[in-house]
């Protein structure tokens, strides 16, 4: 058991490293990956661009219009009120159109972005679903969920925030500069010198802010985890009278979080104020230089007014754009992660030719292993030269220590993996020549931990397939003896199960998974430790259901409790990837070999090593 | 907020000087700030009158700079102060909540899920903090600025009706924020919820991938997932409709104000009713006021939210724990105390179905009691009452003749070592988990306890041995390993009384036997109560009781019970003679 712990620790360490190491965003390849989607919506993006242009116009023109009003109307001493009114009308028209086009632009962009993100999500999900089991062994469930939810959400933010800001703020910035040059090239040139300074300061501050923000977030999530755990274990804390000690530990974490918060607040305030000071500095500078120019009659006052307003407007887009920088980075990383998932090819594929769907009710259920050799890692075969014939309808029990190859045998039969050498045939057809869909329907599997979805009892048995009638489900439940369990529930067959079927005992959950088998009618059935972990009553219940379900099907039963398989037509005893003994219970006992030894251990005698190795598996799966 | 004063009153009584200081700083900052348009206005007037000189220009620029810096420094300090006390408040309140949580009994936890309590702890506390920090800053800033700007405009000779006309459209801003803010919030919550639903579905799908693959229902699952994704899209689009309307509307009102300023102010300026400087200042003031008005709307929304939060928090903190030490609680020497149950009847709800019925039992000090029974027969409830995690009826449970309700809680709980069934462990090192009763216990004792629980060997094989961390960022233990660690945590206490609640159910038979014999050795002469599913665990007890539907249906020693017809013998037959089912299997198949 030691190695299992150790490997668990190692995996976590690796994940930890992954989290710390910041992957370098690869902008070019990420953009290339998305380009297909973007090209598809080229027209839409062009429309968004157009809308943005009109939308920002009124904001940009306002100082310019004011300048005209001041210089041409007010300062010129011409009492041209009509001109002024015209300016007002023009300005208001621009504002109204800005209102309309801002709305349009936001909605349009969101619509495009959402349809791309939804497409990526669906593609990613169905791609992952297509992968063979070895892929799921390799990838942790957590990281796959991250890809589907967080990474695609980062992509979504790219569209709804980054792109929006790039369009809007980028264009605003460009136009402000153009306007400034239009007004006074000399003064504009001076102002442009400040631009890089602002950018550098903003970017530096942003990355520092991000750091403090993340530190606070990490500490917060540790605090939450601590509280959640303590709330869950409060009973224990009180029974051990450890309230004081736990509170001390809480205050320690709370204090650390507080410090991180204050640091974040300080950075935040400092950043905002620095930006304000920079903006004032610019205005003072422009007033000074511009004021002299106005005095020297090189410039009109209206131009100066417009300049000052533009300078003030200048800071907003820069601020927002730098804000997007971090989002852009994480979106880029997310895109490259998503595409690395999309690049993986399923290890098990349907061969091209002769892939006729198989009719389930014509399958007899004869299984033949011909000289099968298989290894997860090259050079370490877990199954070597295995030959085995299972007759249709036979009930086979499989026993053996952990690592004997029992589960691998099952995985090969389900074609979760492909054999290295040899072949596996069902009714004479190599399983590689059977479409995976048909094969999977043909071979049913009941696992130790029955997996239930959040849905009603009916949905859990039909697996959300509407084409299966309610009557069939009820009949199946009645058949396996789950009827009384279901009737006890508040809404009968329409009771919603939550969180992996909580509210039902392990045995009751297993009964439901037997009902599934009855509904789907696979001609071949595999039970992988399906009766482990049950109390005596439930075990009896399940044993009874098992006998009903296995009738008329070729059935393979893996069990660590010998009592489960003692009545099998044939028991296979596996060791080191080979079948070392086979026969009926009595024959094997009489032989006095490995099986007889296992049996006497399970009866409670002898040293514990062997038995423990058997039960270890049950422990490990827990 | 006035209707739930407790929490905040206490806070403000301490923090008011900071708030007063912050408020004055805000005042000064805005007083300085409103000079900015005025200075530019004067600049324009001087220019128009031709009185401007080069040195005056420099003075004006320096003045502008000074105004900017002054405003920034004062308002920055004011904001920081209040944000600091806000965070302080949050931290103290969380400490208070945690302490409150540690005092609440199991009844409280069974009616409030961890998720709900965490939401008090996180969301409600943050909401209140936001109001008293950000809310205060934004309000005082906006109010001060608004007042100062108004005064400035009036004193610089801008006619009142002109000011009113310009400001009028902008006064709509707070109303719009209050109106649309909650709608945006609801819709964005819907987006979050649909995102969460999709994540849950992905989690479920990848967890059950074997089922999906084995039953070849991939197309159906893809369809379900696709619907979850489409729901997100629909919710996002619903959100963007309101939010973009909102974000476009606010500037529109601002420009409307500007247009009025331009038309009306310009008209007055042309007719000489307004100086150029005042006109310039007016347009600048209008721009200045847009932001604070929007913030006032935000504050109204945030206060509305936090009011509900504050009420929830106050209610939570006013709940008093139902298990409290009576005054003058007694200390009992548990090593010599007999445990007596006298007509114990108990229901979780006052009017509910009794879980335990008229239990009459006496456990002599130093003996071992075994309890067997089906799931739901009341075994665990009995343990909870013995530990007083629920209050038994007065006079029904006594240790050494003293009612459990009159005992000091510390005496009771330190004197009993309890090993729960689920083997709950904390995310800290294995060593600390075992030495939970006293974190500084010496390593020799920790190791001894681990040996007794048959877990030492496996811990010793770990790279960090007893220092190995458990939990999310550390090791994951199997059910059996967790149970054995939890057992070691109980054994190390060497308490006068020990309660084992089905504590070895996930351990294999051979290890179970080893553990039971080491428990028997360790607990020799000490009171021990063992609850079990398996007969093997209670076989050697001095007294075994069989519980069924809350009542004792059988009691006696192992041999006595076996000699009688009844539940115990049935159970024994199933467990020890379990082999017969296997042989029946073939027979059934043949029929």
Q: Is there a single domain that holds both residue B546 and residue B417?
A: yes
Name the packing angle between helices B567-576 and A536-550 (round to 10°): 50
pLDDT at A561: 67
Same domain, B175 and B311: no
Position A396 scores a pLDDT of: 87
Q: Which residues of A touch B389 (CB under 8 A)?
A: 235, 238-239
Interface confidence, given as ipTM, is: 0.79
- Domain match, B46 and B139 both: yes
Residue B472 confidence class, pLDDT cut points 50, 70, 90: low
- Residue A395, pLDDT > 70, answer yes
Residue B35 sits in the same domain as residue B130? yes
Residues sharing a CB contact under 8 Å with residue A333, sequence separation 6 or more, in sequence order: A23, A25, A154
Domain with B14 in it: 1-157+294-321
User: A351: pLDDT confidence band, cut at 50, 70 and 90?
Assistant: low
pLDDT tens-digit series, residues A263-298: 888 888 888 888 888 888 888 888 888 888 877 777
Tens-place pLDDT, residues B18-77: 888 988 898 888 888 888 877 877 877 777 777 777 788 888 888 888 888 898 889 889
pLDDT score of A571 more than 70: yes
- Contact (CB<8Å) B582/A567: yes
Of the candidate ranges A182-191, A386-395, B287-296, the one whose mean pLDDT is the lowest: B287-296
Q: Give the number of other Cβ atoms within 10 Å of residue A44's Cβ.
A: 17
| Cα A372 to Cα A388: distance, rounded to the nearest angstrom | 9
Asked, for residue B478, whether it belongs to a domain, the answer is no
Q: The domain A27-184+331-343: what is its CATH number? A: 1.20.1560.10
Domain annotation covers residue B572: yes
**pLDDT tens-digit map of B418-468:** 888 777 778 778 888 887 877 777 777 778 788 877 777 777 777 778 777
The average pLDDT across B94-123 equals 80
Residues 6 or more apart from A520 whose CB is under 8 A from it?
A441, A444, B215
Partner B contacted by A348 (CB < 8 A): no
In the structure, what pLDDT confidence band is assigned to residue A14 with cuts at 50, 70 and 90? very low
Among A258, A608, A621, the residue with its CB nearest the CB of B510 is A608
Pick the closest to residue A387 from A182, A572, A621 (CA basis). A572
Give the N- to C-terminal CA distance of chain A in Å, as an integer. Answer: 13
Closest approach of chain B CAs to the CA of A114, in angstroms?
6
Q: Which CATH fold would you assign to the domain A363-621?
A: Rossmann fold (3.40.50)
Together in a domain, B582 and B493: yes
Select the more confidently predicted residue: B518 or A506.
B518
A412 touches chain B (CB under 8 A): no
CB contact under 8 A, B217 and A107: no
CA-nearest of B73, B60, B134 to A274 is B73
Band (pLDDT 50/70/90 cuts) for residue A77 is low
Residue B547, in any domain of the structure: yes
Residues of B in contact with A250 (CB under 8 A): 95, 98
> Is residue B255 domain-shared with residue B403, that is, in the same domain?
no
Tell me whether B405 touches chain A (CB under 8 Å): no
**Could you read off the pLDDT of B294-351 as tens digits, one per residue?**
777 777 777 777 888 888 888 888 888 887 777 777 887 777 878 888 888 888 777 7
What is the β-pairing status of strands A524-528 and A496-497? unpaired
Find, in chain B, the residue whose alpha carbon is nearest to that of A61: B255
- How far apart CA B483 and CA B502 sit, in angstroms, is 10
Question: A87 CB near a chain B CB, below 8 Å?
Answer: yes
Query: Residue B519 pLDDT more than 70?
Result: yes
Min CA distance, B148 vs chain A (Å)?
20
Q: Find the CB nearest A58 among B255, B473, B588.
A: B255
- Which pLDDT belongs to residue A560? 67
CB-CB neighbors (< 8 A) of A167 in chain B: none
CATH at residue B45? 1.20.1560.10
The yes-or-no verdict on residue A55 having pLDDT over 80 is yes
pLDDT at B578: 44
Cβ-Cβ contacts under 8 Å, A445 against chain B: 210, 214
| First-residue to last-residue Cα distance in chain B | 76
The mean of the pLDDT values for chain B is: 79
Compute the CA torsion angle A508, A511, A515, A516 (nearest 10 deg). 80
When comparing pLDDT for B290 and B137, which is higher? B137
Cα-Cα-Cα-Cα dihedral sign, residues A583, A585, A586, A591: positive
Closest CB to B462: pick one of A5, A98, A440. A5
List the helix and strand counts (H, then E) for chain B: 23, 10
Q: Give the DSSP per-residue string, B420-449.
A: -SS----SSBHHHHHTTTSTT--HHHHHHH
Structure tokens at A532: 């482990």
Q: Does B81 touch chain A (CB under 8 A)?
A: no
Per the DSSP assignment, residues forming a β-bridge with A573 are: A399, A581
CA B417, CA B406: separation in Å to the nearest integer?
20
**Residues near A610 by beta carbon (within 8 Å), at least 6 away in sequence:** A401, A597, A598, A601
Q: What is the pLDDT of residue B216?
A: 78
pLDDT score, position A16: 35
Minimal C-alpha gap between B79 and chain A (Å): 8
Residue length, chain A? 622
Domain of residue B370, CATH code:
3.40.50.300
Report the side by side order of strands in the sheet with A443-446. Answer: A443-446, A524-528, A554-558, A395-400, A570-575, A578-583
Q: What is the pLDDT of residue A438?
A: 81
Span B131-160, average pLDDT: 82
Q: Determine contact: B321 vs chain A, CB below 8 A.
A: no
d(CA B8, CA B90): 11
Residue B522 lies in a domain: yes
Q: What are the strands of the beta sheet with B356-363, ordered from one edge? A: B356-363, B339-346, B397-399, B402-403
Between the alpha carbon of residue B531 and those of residues A243, B369, B420, B489, the distances in Å are 26, 8, 10, 17
Q: Is residue B362 part of a domain?
A: yes
Please tell me whether residues B316 and B346 are part of one structural domain: no
Could you tell me the pLDDT band of residue B576, with boundaries at 50, 70 and 90?
low
Touching A: B residues 29-48, CB under 8 Å: 40, 43-44, 47-48
pLDDT at residue B1 greater than cutoff 70: no
Same domain, B28 and B109: yes
The reply to whether B147 and B165 lie within a common domain is no
DSSP A40-51: HTHHHHHHHHHH
Q: Is the pLDDT of residue A2 over 60?
A: no
Work out the percent of chain A whose per-residue pLDDT is above 90. 0
Q: Do A269 and B79 touch (CB under 8 A)?
A: yes
**Any CB–CB contact under 8 A between A243 and chain B?**
yes
Q: What is the 3-state secondary structure (H, E, C) of B187-199?
A: HHHHHHHHHHHHH
- pLDDT (tens digit, 9 = 90+) per residue, B360-394? 888 888 888 888 877 667 778 888 888 888 888 88
Residue B181 within a domain: yes
Whether B508 and B536 have beta carbons less than 8 Å apart is answered as: no
Residues B65 and B178 in one domain: no
d(CA B376, CA B16): 56
**Residue A13's pLDDT is what?**
34
Walk across the sheet containing B497-501 and list its strands: B416-419, B497-501, B527-532, B368-373, B543-548, B551-556
Q: Assess B172–A contact: CB distance below 8 Å, yes or no.
A: no
Secondary structure, 3-state, B252-316: HHHHHHHHHHHHHHHHHHHCCCCCHHHHHHHHHHHHHHHHHHHHHHHHHHHHHHHHHHHHHHHHH
Q: In the structure, what pLDDT confidence band is assigned to residue A601 with cuts at 50, 70 and 90?
A: low
Q: Are strands A496-497 and A455-456 parallel, antiparallel or unpaired?
A: antiparallel
In terms of C-beta density within 10 A (0-12 exposed, 13-18 middle, 19 or more buried), how is residue B528 classed? buried
* Residue B443 located in a structural domain: no
- B330 has which bridge partners? B407
Residue B245, both tokens:
């309307």
The domain spans of chain A are: 27-184+331-343, 185-298, 363-621
My answer on whether B495 and B381 are in the same domain is yes
Q: Is residue B441 part of a domain?
A: no
pLDDT of residue A609: 40
For residues B310 and B348, state if they share a domain: no
User: Nearest by CB to B203, which of A130, A145, A601?
Assistant: A145
Q: Which of residues 526-545 of A touch B (CB under 8 A)?
A: 533, 535-537, 539-540, 543
Q: Which of A73, A239, A396 to mutate to test the interface with B (most CBs of B within 10 A)?
A: A239
Point out the least confidently predicted range of A21-35, A76-90, A201-215, B257-271: A21-35
pLDDT at res. B250: 81
Total structural domains in chain B?
3
Min distance B144 CA to chain A CA atoms (Å): 19
């Amino acid at each position: 058991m030691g190695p299992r712990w150790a490997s668990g620790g190692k995996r976590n360490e690796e994940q930890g490293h992954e989290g710390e190491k910041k992957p370098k965003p690869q902008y070019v390849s990420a953009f290339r990956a998305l380009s297909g989607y973007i090209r598809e919506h080229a027209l839409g993006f062009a429309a968004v661009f157009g809308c943005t242009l009109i939308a920002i116009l009124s904001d940009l023109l306002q100082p310019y219009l004011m300048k005209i009003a001041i210089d041409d109307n007010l300062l010129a001493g011409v009492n041209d009120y009509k001109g002024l009114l015209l300016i007002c009308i023009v300005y208001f028209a621009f504002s109204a159109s800005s209102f309309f086009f801002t709305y349009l632009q936001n909605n349009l962009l969101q619509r495009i972005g959402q349809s791309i993100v939804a497409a990526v999500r669906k593609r990613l999900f169905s791609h992952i679903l297509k992968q063979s089991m070895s892929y799921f062994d390799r990838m942790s469930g957590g990281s796959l969920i991250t890809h589907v939810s967080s990474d695609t959400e980062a992509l979504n933010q790219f569209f709804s925030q980054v792109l929006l800001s790039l369009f809007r703020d980028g264009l605003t910035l460009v136009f402000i500069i153009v306007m400034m040059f239009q007004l006074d090239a000399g003064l504009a040139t001076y102002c442009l010198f400040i631009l890089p300074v602002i950018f550098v300061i903003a970017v530096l501050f942003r990355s520092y802010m991000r750091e403090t923000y993340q530190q606070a977030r990490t500490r917060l999530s540790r605090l939450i985890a601590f509280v959640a755990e303590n709330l869950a274990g409060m009973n224990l804390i009180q029974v051990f009278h450890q309230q004081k000690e736990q509170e001390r530990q809480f205050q320690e974490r709370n204090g650390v979080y507080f410090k991180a918060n204050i640091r974040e607040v300080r950075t935040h305030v400092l950043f905002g104020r620095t930006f304000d000071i920079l903006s004032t500095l610019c205005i003072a500078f422009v007033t000074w230089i511009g004021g002299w120019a106005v005095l020297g009659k090189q410039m009109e006052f209206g131009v100066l007014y417009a300049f000052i307003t533009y300078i003030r407007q200048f800071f907003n887009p820069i601020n927002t754009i730098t804000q997007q920088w971090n989002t852009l980075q994480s979106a880029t990383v997310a895109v490259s992660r998503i595409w690395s998932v999309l690049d993986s090819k399923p290890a098990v594929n349907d061969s091209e030719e002769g892939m006729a769907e198989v009719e389930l009710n014509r399958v007899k259920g004869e299984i033949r292993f011909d000289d099968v050799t298989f290894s997860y890692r090259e050079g370490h075969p877990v199954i070597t030269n295995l030959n085995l014939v299972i007759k249709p309808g036979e009930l086979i029990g499989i026993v053996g220590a952990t690592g004997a190859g029992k589960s691998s045998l099952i995985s090969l039969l389900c074609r979760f993996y492909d054999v290295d050498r040899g072949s596996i045939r069902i009714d004479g057809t190599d399983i590689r020549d059977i479409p995976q869909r048909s094969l999977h329907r043909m071979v049913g599997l009941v696992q130790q931990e029955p997996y239930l979805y959040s849905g009603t009892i009916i949905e859990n048995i039909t697996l959300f397939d509407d084409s299966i009638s309610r009557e069939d489900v009820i009949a199946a439940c009645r058949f396996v003896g789950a009827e009384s369990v279901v009737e006890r529930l508040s809404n009968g067959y329409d009771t919603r199960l939550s969180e992996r079927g909580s509210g039902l005992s392990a045995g009751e959950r297993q009964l439901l998974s037997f009902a599934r088998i009855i509904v789907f009618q696979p001609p071949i059935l595999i039970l992988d430790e399906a009766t482990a972990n049950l109390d005596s009553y439930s075990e009896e219940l399940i044993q009874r259901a098992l006998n009903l379900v296995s009738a008329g099907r070729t059935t393979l039963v893996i069990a660590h409790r010998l009592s489960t398989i003692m009545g099998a037509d044939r028991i296979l005893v596996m060791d080191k990837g080979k079948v070392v003994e086979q026969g009926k219970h009595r024959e094997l006992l009489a032989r006095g070999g490995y099986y007889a030894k296992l049996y006497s251990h399970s009866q409670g005698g002898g040293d514990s090593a062997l038995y423990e190795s058997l039960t270890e598996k049950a422990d490990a799966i827990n | 907020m006035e209707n739930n004063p407790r929490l905040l009153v206490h806070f403000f009584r301490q923090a008011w000087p900071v708030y007063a200081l912050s408020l004055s700083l805000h005042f000064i900052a805005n007083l300085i700030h409103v000079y900015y348009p005025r200075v530019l206005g004067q600049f324009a007037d001087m220019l128009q009158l031709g009185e401007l000189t080069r040195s005056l220009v420099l003075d004006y620029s320096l003045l502008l700079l000074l105004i900017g810096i002054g405003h920034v420094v004062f308002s920055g300090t004011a904001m920081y102060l209040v944000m600091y006390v806000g965070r302080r408040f949050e931290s103290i309140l969380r400490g208070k909540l945690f302490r409150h949580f540690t005092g609440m009994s199991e009844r409280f936890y069974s009616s409030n899920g961890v998720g709900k309590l965490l939401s008090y702890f996180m969301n409600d506390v943050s909401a209140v903090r936001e109001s008293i920090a950000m809310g205060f800053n934004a309000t005082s800033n906006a109010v001060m600025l608004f007042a100062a700007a108004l005064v400035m405009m009036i004193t610089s000779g801008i006619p009142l009706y002109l000011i009113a006309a310009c400001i009028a459209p902008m006064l709509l801003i707070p109303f719009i924020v209050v109106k649309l803010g909650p709608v945006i919030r609801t819709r964005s919550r819907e987006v979050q919820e649909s995102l969460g639903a999709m994540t849950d579905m992905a989690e479920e799908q990848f967890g059950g991938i074997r089922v999906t693959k084995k039953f070849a229902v991939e197309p159906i699952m893809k369809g379900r997932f696709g619907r979850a994704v489409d729901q997100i899209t629909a919710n996002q689009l619903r959100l963007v409709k309101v939010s973009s309307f909102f974000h476009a509307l606010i500037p529109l009102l601002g420009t409307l104000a500007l247009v009025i300023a331009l038309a009306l102010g310009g008209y007055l300026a042309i007719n000489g009713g307004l100086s150029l400087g005042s006109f310039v200042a007016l347009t600048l003031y209008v721009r200045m006021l847009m932001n604070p008005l929007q913030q006032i709307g935000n504050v109204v929304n945030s206060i509305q939210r936090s009011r509900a939060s504050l009420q929830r928090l106050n209610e939570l903190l006013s709940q008093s724990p139902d298990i409290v030490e009576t005054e003058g609680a007694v200390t009992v020497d548990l090593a010599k105390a007999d445990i007596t149950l006298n007509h114990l009847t108990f229901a979780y709800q006052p009017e509910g179905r009794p879980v335990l019925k008229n239990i009459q039992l006496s456990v002599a000090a130093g003996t071992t009691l075994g309890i067997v029974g089906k799931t739901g027969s009341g075994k665990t409830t009995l343990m909870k009452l013995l530990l007083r995690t629920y209050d038994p009826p007065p006079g029904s449970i006594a240790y050494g003749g003293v009612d459990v309700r009159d005992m000091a809680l510390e005496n009771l709980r330190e004197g009993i070592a309890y090993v729960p069934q689920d083997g709950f462990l904390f995310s800290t090192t294995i060593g600390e988990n075992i030495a939970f009763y006293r974190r500084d216990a010496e390593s020799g004792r920790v190791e001894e306890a681990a040996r007794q629980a048959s877990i030492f060997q496996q811990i010793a094989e770990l790279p960090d041995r007893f220092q190995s961390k458990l939990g999310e960022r550390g090791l994951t233990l199997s059910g059996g390993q967790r149970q054995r660690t939890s057992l070691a945590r109980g054994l190390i206490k060497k308490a006068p009384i020990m309660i084992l609640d089905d504590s070895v159910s996930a351990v294999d038979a051979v290890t179970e036997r080893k553990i039971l014999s080491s428990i028997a050795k360790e607990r020799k002469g000490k009171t021990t109560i063992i609850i079990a599913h398996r007969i093997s665990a209670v076989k050697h007890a001095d007294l075994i009781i069989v519980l069924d539907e809350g009542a004792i249906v059988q009691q006696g020693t192992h041999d006595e019970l076996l000699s009688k017809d009844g539940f115990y013998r049935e159970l024994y037959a199933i467990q020890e003679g379990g082999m017969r089912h296997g042989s029946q299997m073939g027979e059934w198949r043949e029929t």
